[in-house]
Amino acid sequence: MRVPGGLPEAGPGPLTPSRTSGGKLLAVLDAFTRERPALTLSEIARAVGVPLSTAHRLVGELRRWGGLERDADGRFRVGLRLFELGALAPRGLGLREAALPFMEDLYEVTHQNVQLAVRDDVEVLFVERFAARDAVTVLTQVGGRFALPPTGVGLVLLAYAPVEVQERVLAAPLRRYTPHTITDPRTLRRVLAEVRRTGLAISDRQVTADAVSAAAPIHLGDAVVAALSVVVPGDSPAAVRAVTPGVRAAARGISRVLTQSAGAGWPVEPPSAADELR
């Protein structure tokens, strides 16, 4: 569990004395967030819920392995060893390699935000993004996470997610970011059905009041494994009309490359909601 400051809350749950040594090491790594990329030893101890001496031992093990590095000011950061391991994840590296040429072409045509994302449980994880300096401001960034419902890529990924995932999202409170954010579950259900019907999602000023996005699914065989979007400035769905054909074409191209050259190593999930409804 994370508290508003970005650090995990010590106490009951996974952060208890009954954890294994491996679990404690993972808890140390989990203490680092995008908001708190550098932590002191005492901050790590408090976040993990262990004595300072135990935190010292855990941090020492991770430093020797390469999972943590120490700054000149004495704070600790995630080490390059984790970057090396992360590059092996097929949903990151293989997807990016397939997508980059198409994303570059789409960016050259639009000079707006071109985003590539995957779903991790009930969140969007952004794995790549292109943006010009004068492009409309977005709240997303590479390696960052966001709720599924408000974003164009999130709507695509939620529309094709397993029914169980959809029901969990729909049962939870839907956060409002702007006056245009969909917070009614019934309305969201209708939107997801339309995404499955058309193969396209449009997020109309749901995250920021001046941005509209169009997103399309990326397939690996019959499964939707990622989503591609372009975010443009605008005050209505008509703002993305000109970029929609390019988004569709790029997503199809990435899907074709993935299906031809990837496949191995990708996680297999239960049937999607779209399959269930066929």
* Same domain as 182, residue 68: no
- Give the pLDDT of residue 278: 35
pLDDT of residue 199 exceeding 90, the answer is yes
* Same domain as 135, residue 39: no
Is 210 among the domain residues?
yes
pLDDT of residue 180 exceeding 90, the answer is yes
pLDDT of residue 9 exceeding 90, the answer is no
Euclidean distance between CA atoms 12 and 78, whole angstroms: 25
pTM for the model stands at 0.67
pLDDT of residue 114 exceeding 60, the answer is yes
Is 4 among the domain residues?
no
Say which residue, 263 or 80, is predicted with more confidence.
80
Is 171 among the domain residues?
yes
Is 100 among the domain residues?
yes
* Same domain as 244, residue 130: yes
Last residue of a domain, one of 34, 57, 86: 86
Reported as a single tens digit per residue, the pLDDT across 89-104 is 555 457 888 899 999 9
pLDDT of residue 269 exceeding 70, the answer is no
* Same domain as 212, residue 163: yes
The CATH code of the domain that includes 58 is 1.10.10.10
Q: What value does the mean pLDDT take over residues 107-127?
A: 91
* Same domain as 30, residue 81: yes
Number of domains observed in the structure of the chain:
2
Supply the range of the domain harboring residue 229. Answer: 93-277
Torsion of CA 140, 143, 144, 146, to 10 degrees: 90
Q: What value does the mean pLDDT take over residues 132-159?
A: 86
Task: Kindly indicate the confidence band of residue 86, based on its pLDDT and cuts at 50, 70 and 90.
Answer: low
- Please give the C-alpha separations between residue 19 and each of 6, 59, 69, in angstroms, as whole numbers: 22, 16, 24
